[in-house]
Amino acid sequence: MTSAEVRQSFLDFFQSKGHTIVPSSSLLPSSPNLLFTNAGMNQFVPYFLGERPAPFNRAADTQKCIRAGGKHNDLEDVGFDTYHHTFFEMLGNWSFGDYFKKEALEWSWELLTKVWGLPADRLYATVYKPVKQGDPSVFDEEAWKVWEKIFKAEGLDPQKHIKTGGKKDNFWMMGETGPCGPCSEIHMDLTPDKTGGALVNAGSPWCIEIWNDVFMQFNATEDGQFVPLKKHNVDTGMGFERVAGIMATTENFTNFTRPPSNYNADVFAPIFARISEMSGKTYGRTMPADRNKLSPQEKNDVAFRVLADHARTLSCAIADGILPGNEGRNYVLRRILRRAVMFGRRLDLAPGFFTELVTPVVQTLGPVFPELKMQEETVRKVVRSEETSFDRTLDRGLQEFERIAAKLEA
């Protein structure tokens, strides 16, 4: 499947289950405690809290998300691993006081294994179990039972395929406050010899979370209380680039010998092609074993991934009206652009290269997020001006460094 087919097939599947397909909300969040929209559920917070009635009981979409700065912050990992991004699409389905754990988990399973054909024996589920005093709520026996039935029906051992996790891994919160609840994740073992079950939640690229089903049951308040919500809701998030990357890397689950990477998904290909054209270098699909000891090809590939990711982040954020600047979310954006320019220099890219990446980003994401196409010129102008000013600062710094170094040598 192509990336576009994965996205469409997700939406079609949930439409066939009675969900209304809604557009992604802006990356500029409506919640005051967020820097950027960081999850599909952000736009639905008032429905979860019962502040406004939901216009539909079930919805599904692909949501633009940025996780940089704030509670969910992946910036420093981006490029060095193959499965984190600052910008990504989250495919999600929601129930507003309608279906709950059973349907949510069964549909996740149906789409993954029956529609898309992910091998069931490579999948692991996690459920919430408090581990420390003060952890909210209780063991999620209901989710465990649903999974037990699912794995048994596949002829797989539930004791092996279901794991428990505490508040850190299995209780999802958007920020320190707001709607939240226990969650049940699906992880996929990508090892050549199917030994990855032990790597669930171990931070390994060989076994990654692909879907999170959150059961929104509480509102976390300023004073640290978890107040039960009037209605039970479902918020799920599936990593679009993760699933598309797995399909691409494994050639639709037929070959598990290569290092897995989201960046193998075709949605990144035109951006990589442009970087290659400008640098004369090629993306080698390596995965660094140790980020402190990178081979020349690994260094090259880290830079390719950083540039591709950051170009998507900058373009989409600016298209939504978030500009690089000196404070808060604007400063985070400025830092991301500067990080990209620094990595670009490692590829010996000429000044102005980053602005060139706006075109392939719009080409790949414009058909899904029309605002990107509409704001293309503005995005280009803002990126150009920010990039030029940072290039000047860098050059001045470099000249100053060389002047001092020459003096010390003399």
Q: Which residues bind ligand SER (CB under 6 A)?
A: 39-41, 92, 172, 212, 214, 235-237
In angstroms, give the least distance from the CB of 89 to ligand SER. Answer: 12
In angstroms, give the least distance from the CB of 137 to ligand SER. Answer: 16
Closer residue to ligand SER (CB): 67 or 122: 67
Closer residue to ligand SER (CB): 236 or 264: 236
In angstroms, give the least distance from the CB of 249 to ligand SER. Answer: 22
Instruction: Count other Cβ atoms within 10 Å, centred on residue 392.
Output: 11
Instruction: Count other Cβ atoms within 10 Å, centred on residue 19.
Output: 22
Closer residue to ligand SER (CB): 172 or 353: 172
For residue 283, give the nearest of 265, 292, 293 by alpha carbon: 265
For residue 87, give the nearest of 371, 333, 380 by alpha carbon: 333
- Identity (one letter) of the amino acid at 346? R
Q: Which residue is nearest to ligand SER (CB)?
A: 237
Give the Cα separation of 82 and 216 in Å (integer).
30
Tokens of 311: 């170009």
In angstroms, give the least distance from the CB of 235 to ligand SER. Answer: 5
Closer residue to ligand SER (CB): 130 or 182: 182
Closer residue to ligand SER (CB): 29 or 237: 237
Closer residue to ligand SER (CB): 236 or 355: 236
Tokens 């063991």 belong to residue: 139
Measuring CA to CA, how many Å separate 370 from each of 50, 100, 374? 31, 33, 6
CA triplet 15, 20, 21: central angle to 5 degrees? 80
Burial of 364 (0-12, 13-18, 19+ CB in 10 A): buried
In angstroms, give the least distance from the CB of 56 to ligand SER. Answer: 17
In angstroms, give the least distance from the CB of 48 to ligand SER. Answer: 11
In angstroms, give the least distance from the CB of 408 to ligand SER. Answer: 51
Closer residue to ligand SER (CB): 210 or 265: 210
Instruction: Count other Cβ atoms within 10 Å, centred on residue 311.
Output: 27
In angstroms, give the least distance from the CB of 244 to ligand SER. Answer: 17
Instruction: Report phi then psi at 134, rounded to 5.
Output: 95, -15
In angstroms, give the least distance from the CB of 111 to ligand SER. Answer: 15
In angstroms, give the least distance from the CB of 134 to ligand SER. Answer: 22
Residues 6+ apart with CB under 8 A from 284: 297, 300, 301
Closer residue to ligand SER (CB): 169 or 376: 169
Closer residue to ligand SER (CB): 24 or 286: 24
CA trace torsion 342, 347, 351, 355 (10° rounding): -80
Closer residue to ligand SER (CB): 28 or 394: 28
Closer residue to ligand SER (CB): 215 or 354: 215
In angstroms, give the least distance from the CB of 74 to ligand SER. Answer: 12
